[in-house]
Structure 1
Amino acid sequence: MRRIAITLLFFVMSSIAMAQKKPTIMILPSDHWCEMRYFMTTYDNQGTKVKTPNYQQAFMEDTEIGPVISKIGQILTGMGYSLKDAEQEIKSINTKTAEDNVTMSKSSGASLVESPLDMLKRRIKSDVLIQIFWDLSRSGGGHATTFTLEAFDSYTNKRIATSTGSTQGQGSVPDLLAAAVQQNVKPFDKQMDKWFDDQKKNGREINLTVRCWDSWENDLETEYDGEELTDCIQNWLKQNCVGGVFNLSDGTESFAQFEQVRIPLTDERGNAMDARAFATLLRKYLAKSPYNITAKVMQRGLGEAILVLGEK
């Protein structure tokens, strides 16, 4: 009986631990902080000059950012979050490769570019990106520290939680900032929990685009077993999206844009599911009879995939 009781207790505790599991996070300085300290890089995105934070330079040259992220990371990991180390991953990323990573579409001539941040999110695969901004000013005999903590869904870039606060006292910037965050972190944690509960219940949100190479003899209006290909794809999405939830926001005979596509957090093997993995499942489905369609999957960050039909 004692052995049975211990087994049941272990099962209950494991179930509780599973239920309380929090999302994985990655902490980075905010765009505004990087702009103020001149840690920005300009790259060409389809002819448009885009400025993006140069995190590698920030970690190498700024003496505050590393300790600040470490202190905030300690607070959040103590609350059950799993922290991915952005600094170590950044050291292995060749930013120029990400900036020049452009793919040209055969059907429309459109180009796809993956920004350094998109590349970082894809490689680390955190659920949530947390950005921190802080400002330090003298106050009496010490310093006044204000901060803004914002959390974004890594897949949709939607803001899901925010917290602001301030503290006064003496000490290092990381210690003062940690004290300010500690005093204001509970509402932030509740917002994060609400978002993650929705993800577990209703699935992760991505965007999926289906296009056609101009070399392909068919299109999305080609019929298979009496149904147009667009309808066949929608039937597959109804069966594979969480709750059958997705939205066909735009479409022609050569283009279909699906938004608010809800996918499972993990696949059948327990691996994290992202837009590319989900689009690959659709690609494999269309490769079978009666479709026998060859297709190529392209990825933009974690939350957007493009499936181009006709060839690889």
Structure 2
Amino acid sequence: MILPSDNWCIQRYFITDFDNQGMKMKVPNYKQAFQEDTEIGQVISKIGSLMIDRGFPLKDAEQEIKAIEVRNAENNLTTSKTSGSSISESPLDILKNQSKADIIIQIWWKVNKTDQGKIISFTLEAFDSFTSKRIASSTGNGLPSSEITPVMLQTAVMSHIDKFSDQLNQHFNDMSINGREIKLTIRKFGSWDKDLETEFSGEELTDVILGWMNKNTVQGKYNNSESSENLLRLEQVKIPLLDDKSNGIDARQFARNLQKFLRNSPYGIESKLLNRGLGEAIIILGEK
């Protein structure tokens, strides 16, 4: 999926305030950008055609945003259930999660006038939706031109696009061998009379969970970054790209398998599963 960069949106005042658990943040307002800017749609179409020519299928960001709004409106009309969770998602997290786009490509550009004509500068960056890590980047300038901005940008990007696509391919090749990276956090409800140090058949629950992780991650790769009786935080968790039915796996689906494992005998542990975007899942033990 291709989107305008944060800086491009801020420069043009396509931003909105987002309350992230009490912290006020300014985030891009993509809907406003698509509705009010006369260039962004054409720019994304031009860059998208270059990516499609190199074998990268794209999702249309504008159409995905519209579809999400429709789904949210339908949900608001059909249910009054509210979540007691403190987990919140930014508009970009919601877009990543509901569109299921593996890679977010952000484009920034600026046109400068010179004596020789208009010169366009650009930066093209790709981020893994699961980790928000930059996986490909390209920047450059076009030649003096009198063309419209989308055509100037397409011409300028053309000379850099092959290196950019090579970086993307390297990322996908690495994931196919070493797995996709996610984060997984295990917590407990205060009402639960057990914790992560409770023993089941002589083995602490933390060790039970880590044993499951060793068997179900790619090459047993993960980092136990924090552990206590109430919290287990796992980072750099490498999960398979596909399940046994060749369907893509995200953090929620991976965590769902652990949730089912803990629900079964001899553990019988109920839990609530939450997610933030595609790449982070939270299991809260004790009840749903």
TM-score (norm 2): 0.94
2:262 alignment partner in structure 1: 286
Which deviates the most, 133-142 or 199-208?
133-142
CA distance in 1, matches of 2:89, 2:190: 23
CA contact (8 A) 1:155 1:302 kept: yes
Per-residue CA shift, 1:102-128, capped at 9, x if unaligned? 9545xxxxx211111000000111111
Is the partner of 1:235 in helix, strand or coil? helix
Match of 1:60 among 35, 45, 48: 35
Which residue identity does 2:18 align to in structure 1? Answer: Y
Match of 1:197 among 166, 173, 185: 173
Please report how far the alpha carbon of residue 238 of structure 1 lies from its aligned counterpart in structure 2 after TM superposition. Answer: 0.5
CA distance in 1, matches of 2:83, 2:136: 34
1:249 alignment partner in structure 2: 225
CA distance in 2, matches of 1:223, 1:91: 49
Match of 1:223 among 199, 207, 213: 199
Is the partner of 1:171 in helix, strand or coil? coil
Please report how far the alpha carbon of residue 188 of structure 1 lies from its aligned counterpart in structure 2 after TM superposition. Answer: 1.1
Per-residue CA shift, 1:214-237, capped at 9, x if unaligned? 111111001112110000000000
> Any residues of structure 2 matched to 1:168-183 within 5 Å, and which?
168=143, 169-183=145-159
What's the RMSD between the two structures over aligned residues?
1.7
2:11 alignment partner in structure 1: 36
Please report how far the alpha carbon of residue 94 of structure 1 lies from its aligned counterpart in structure 2 after TM superposition. Answer: 3.7
Match of 1:235 among 208, 211, 217: 211
1:80 alignment partner in structure 2: 55
CA distance in 2, matches of 1:180, 1:141: 16
Please report how far the alpha carbon of residue 137 of structure 1 lies from its aligned counterpart in structure 2 after TM superposition. Answer: 1.3
2:284 alignment partner in structure 1: 308
Please report how far the alpha carbon of residue 140 of structure 1 lies from its aligned counterpart in structure 2 after TM superposition. Answer: 2.6
CA distance in 2, matches of 1:127, 1:231: 32
CA contact (8 A) 1:206 1:303 kept: yes
TM-score (norm 1): 0.87
Is the partner of 1:180 in helix, strand or coil? helix
Is the partner of 2:161 in helix, strand or coil? helix
Is the partner of 2:159 in helix, strand or coil? helix
Q: How many residues align?
A: 280
CA distance in 1, matches of 2:82, 2:274: 11
Please report how far the alpha carbon of residue 301 of structure 1 lies from its aligned counterpart in structure 2 after TM superposition. Answer: 0.5
1:296 lines up with 2:262 in the alignment: no
Please report how far the alpha carbon of residue 33 of structure 1 lies from its aligned counterpart in structure 2 after TM superposition. Answer: 0.1
Is the partner of 2:174 in helix, strand or coil? helix
Q: 1:54–1:102: structure 2 CA closer, same or farther, 3 Å change rule? A: farther
Where in structure 2 are there 5+ consecutive unaligned residues? 74-80
CA distance in 1, matches of 2:69, 2:7: 23
CA distance in 1, matches of 2:82, 2:142: 45
Is the partner of 2:156 in helix, strand or coil? helix
1:162 alignment partner in structure 2: 137
CA distance in 2, matches of 1:175, 1:102: 47
Is the partner of 1:236 in helix, strand or coil? helix
Where in structure 1 are there 5+ consecutive unaligned residues? 1-25, 106-110
CA distance in 2, matches of 1:102, 1:294: 20
Please report how far the alpha carbon of residue 60 of structure 1 lies from its aligned counterpart in structure 2 after TM superposition. Answer: 0.4
Is the partner of 2:52 in helix, strand or coil? helix
CA contact (8 A) 1:102 1:114 kept: no
CA contact (8 A) 1:29 1:65 kept: yes
CA contact (8 A) 1:40 1:54 kept: yes
1:90 alignment partner in structure 2: 65
**Sequence identity of aligned pairs in percent?**
53
Please report how far the alpha carbon of residue 267 of structure 1 lies from its aligned counterpart in structure 2 after TM superposition. Answer: 1.2
Structure 1 moving runs of 4+ over 3 Å: 101-105
Please report how far the alpha carbon of residue 239 of structure 1 lies from its aligned counterpart in structure 2 after TM superposition. Answer: 0.4
Which deviates the most, 182-191 or 235-244?
182-191
